[in-house]
Amino acid sequence: MKIAVLRFPGTNCDYDVAHVLSKILKVPTKNVWHRTFKERDFSAAILPGGFSFGDYLRAGAIASHSPAMDEVKKMAKSCKPILGICNGFQILTEAGILPGGLLPNENLRFVCKWTRMVCRNSETSFTTRVQLDDYLHMPVAHQEGRFFIDNDGLKALESGRQIVFQYVDENGRLESTVNPNGSVANIAGICNEKRNVVGLMPHPERASEALLSPFRDNDGLLLFQSLVDNIGGS
């Protein structure tokens, strides 16, 4: 078992993710420069947050053309787990590995705050430790986090149970007031049809130690524990 944490020019959350995996969960982890990444060397890959290539054009657009993404596509096809966090989610949509796209926040401002999400699919490579309809607290920090997909695409996500997380209020309602970016259907994260690729805007690595959370929990750690469970000794 070895997990790759990809680094692009402008990536800035790679060491945070590697800390959770290597220091807290004690699993072999390597920060890998995007030009040298080879999927055959790893059991899973994480595309962390940051500002790949300065987010010129659209966020994640330039990184999506890196040779590393050809390797990520091979990994996705072979059902190895892939997680895209924030900018990593943007890259996965720009590369066509996940459907939809991430647009500028509805208020056109950078948003940095804690959010409350509900889990809509507990059968992905990153949510098997999360109960269906459980609530999780994780922070967001982005300016282009508004998930968008057309009506037909949204229906496909719903029928395929590819919506993984949605922003909700304290009563579990999909209110616009708790949607930090204006995402369609309050979507915070989705998966591919095979359930091995997940993208989300909130940062689980920043919610993996109770010390960091105002809620005194470590909900984000559940995603990484699920990953370790699913790759086992591979």
Catalytic residues, by residue number, are 86, 203, 205
96-100 own/partner pairs: CB under 8 Å, 24+ apart: 97/69, 97/72, 97/73, 97/192, 97/197, 98/190, 98/191, 98/192, 98/197, 98/199, 99/149, 99/153, 99/156, 99/157, 99/162, 99/190, 100/147, 100/148, 100/149, 100/153, 100/157, 100/184, 100/190
Tell me the CA end-to-end span of the chain in Å, nearest whole number: 5
Q: Give the DSSP per-residue string, 13-34.
A: SHHHHHHIIIIIS---EEEEEG
